[in-house]
Structure 1
Amino acid sequence: MAFDVDSYASSAHRLRWDDLELDRFRTDRLSDGALRCLRYMSDVETHTVCYLRDLLVTPSHRDPEVTTFLTLWNYEEYWHGEVLDRVLEMHGVPTGPEHTHALRTRLGWQDRVAPMVQSTLANVIGPDFIATHMTWGAINEWCTHAGYSRFVKVEQNPLLTEILQRIAKQETRHIAFYNSQARRRLAESPRARRITRFALRHRWGIVGSGVMPEPEIRHLLNYLFGGTDGLAEARRIDAKIDTLPGLDGLHLVERELTRHGLR
């Protein structure tokens, strides 16, 4: 079923948390492992605007449906980062502009060069690049949604559960857009399927791996996807990827668990 961009545009909204008593975290505190994961997730959500920057210099910016979606996707993701920051603040973890500036500065010259490299490659590829972008987005959103769902099961904190479920509800619409676009564009173009498969096999990494240090990636994956239940969730995501035209058998998520030291 095609995604209704106009309906999404009219209903996209800031995530609400003003009705929640976040002060409860001062006494009902999260575990250290959970806070470390929240720091990772907040940093990645806050970095969404930088991903948007990179995408707007590619052929994706010429498609009005895509740009409408990306504008509102970025808006909703911004508030996801904000609520996670509020939770971190309740635990005395530093957040805010200074932390975000330090994160982006740490990326160094690679962050400055990335938009130019991506723009050059994407515009050489042409419109078929949009299929790769949409597929990449679908996989990242599947992983993000699964991560929030696993977080709820692992930490089992009622207030955190409510926050993460609200975020995950918005993420389901992001998934619907990317998935719909990816399926259509991959089905229409054999060249798009070849390019996308090559890009995923050689360049895709777990969400945040281009931003976060290796110890933090390894911790997040162990916390959320360690053990048999976590591996089963990773394989469920890989099974979804298998259903996309031309992308069966990649085993991307399970490969990432192995690459970062999970057994």
Structure 2
Amino acid sequence: MSATGPFDVAAYVRAPLGPMRETLQGVGAALPADLADALRYVQRRAQGTGSWLSHVLVTATHKDARITAFLSTWAYEAHWFGDALSAIAGAGPLPAIRRGIAARVRDRFGPLREAVVSNLHGRALTAVHMTERLVDGWIVDAMLERAQQLAPSGVAADLARIREGIARQGRFFAESATDALGRSRAARVLARRRLAKRTWPIGADREPAAATARALDALFGPDRSWASAIDHRIDALPGLAGLHLVRRTVRRPGRPAFRIPLRGASRVTAPLPDGKDAR
């Protein structure tokens, strides 16, 4: 598939990146405890796509055969990326996850609520889904890039392969998000609102905020330039300038970037009736 032409979904589906364990170079390499923990954090994000997909598949996004074909292979690859990270980082303690009644209710009825929201917004939600996965991919890639710099050579080579796969996926999300946002003012308004309410990276709200804080601190310490760089990339997407999603995440790791509807969104067009936004 060409990096300059339209993304070739058929070629992507025919040649997915699958199991990697037998070809990994860094298995068994000694890693600092905090780096191994950060890689396990990314692994949980990679293998935790099921909840996100359960929300997407009840919306108009699922009616797009091209996107559905891509997402099926994307989820397959994400699982094996996570499996490779698990092999590299080794077993470790899982964070103590305590989900209250409200969180369990959201988990159970989230897809139903998303189906209702989909009836209100239709294909505008597709722009949200593609954009949030694009942004999430940028964040995860930044984490792996920094881990690659800190890791022994064998592990660094393995992480480079995973990053190549994430970059390939990102080309589809970038193409789809840019097109969907550019065609619809309603999609731009909805994307601003829902992306600002998300916890980044996707799935971080399913474990303690301290786990996200530890992973970011282990990889980046006080450095914030990586967050600014991603925010600049978000600014370049149609209608999404000024959200500062990643810088807000760095200030409040494991928490939504912004809870109050954005003034910038209301200036683009009249607010849409999505008071029951789902995660």
> Could you tell me the TM-score, scaled by structure 2's length?
0.81
Equivalent residues in 2 for 1:97-112, closer than 5 Å: 108-112=104-108
Deviation digits for residues 210-249 of structure 1, max 9, x if unmatched? 2221110111111223223xx1111111111011000111
C-alpha change, 1:2 and 1:148, in structure 2 (3 Å) is: same
* Residue identity in the other structure for 1:86: A
Choose which of 122, 126, 131 in structure 1 pairs with 2:118.
Answer: 122
Deviation digits for residues 186-224 of structure 1, max 9, x if unmatched? 111111111111212233533332222111011111122
* Partner residue in 1 for 2:151: 156
Equivalenced residue count is 248
Q: Which sits farther off after the overlay, 200-209 or 61-70?
A: 200-209
* Partner residue in 2 for 1:253: 246
Assess if the C-alpha contact under 8 Å between 1:242 and 1:250 holds in 2.
yes
> How far 1:252 sits from its partner (Å)?
0.7
* Partner residue in 1 for 2:40: 39
* Partner residue in 2 for 1:197: 192
Assess if the C-alpha contact under 8 Å between 2:199 and 2:249 holds in 1.
no
* Residue identity in the other structure for 1:141: G
Q: Which sits farther off after the overlay, 71-80 or 252-261?
A: 252-261
| 1:188 matches 2:183 | yes
Assess if the C-alpha contact under 8 Å between 2:25 and 2:155 holds in 1.
no
* Partner residue in 2 for 1:67: 68
Assess if the C-alpha contact under 8 Å between 2:181 and 2:238 holds in 1.
yes
Runs of 4+ in 1 over 4 A off after TM superposition: 102-107
* Residue identity in the other structure for 1:73: W
> How far 1:105 sits from its partner (Å)?
8.2
* Residue identity in the other structure for 1:93: G
Deviation digits for residues 123-158 of structure 1, max 9, x if unmatched? 3210111011111111011111111101112x2311
Question: What are structure 2's unaligned runs of at least 5 residues?
Answer: 255-279
Q: Which sits farther off after the overlay, 3-12 or 240-249?
A: 3-12
* Partner residue in 2 for 1:136: 132
Distance in 2, Cα, partners of 1:143 & 1:67: 23
| 1:215 matches 2:214 | no
* Partner residue in 1 for 2:171: 176
Assess if the C-alpha contact under 8 Å between 2:127 and 2:180 holds in 1.
yes
- Local SS of the residue matching 1:195: helix
Distance in 2, Cα, partners of 1:207 & 1:129: 16
* Partner residue in 2 for 1:51: 52
- Local SS of the residue matching 2:242: coil
| 1:243 matches 2:217 | no
For the aligned residue pairs, the C-alpha RMSD in angstroms reads 2.4
Higher-helix-fraction structure: 1
C-alpha change, 1:12 and 1:232, in structure 2 (3 Å) is: same
> How far 1:104 sits from its partner (Å)?
10
Distance in 1, Cα, partners of 2:25 & 2:181: 45
Distance in 2, Cα, partners of 1:9 & 1:105: 36
- Local SS of the residue matching 1:108: helix
Deviation digits for residues 77-101 of structure 1, max 9, x if unmatched? 0101111222343xx536xxxx7xx
C-alpha change, 1:4 and 1:173, in structure 2 (3 Å) is: same
Question: What are structure 1's unaligned runs of at least 5 residues?
Answer: none
Choose which of 5, 18, 22 in structure 2 pairs with 1:14.
Answer: 18
> Could you tell me the TM-score, scaled by structure 1's length?
0.86
| 1:233 matches 2:226 | yes
Q: Which sits farther off after the overlay, 54-63 or 109-118?
A: 109-118
* Partner residue in 2 for 1:5: 9
**Aligned residues: percent identity?**
31
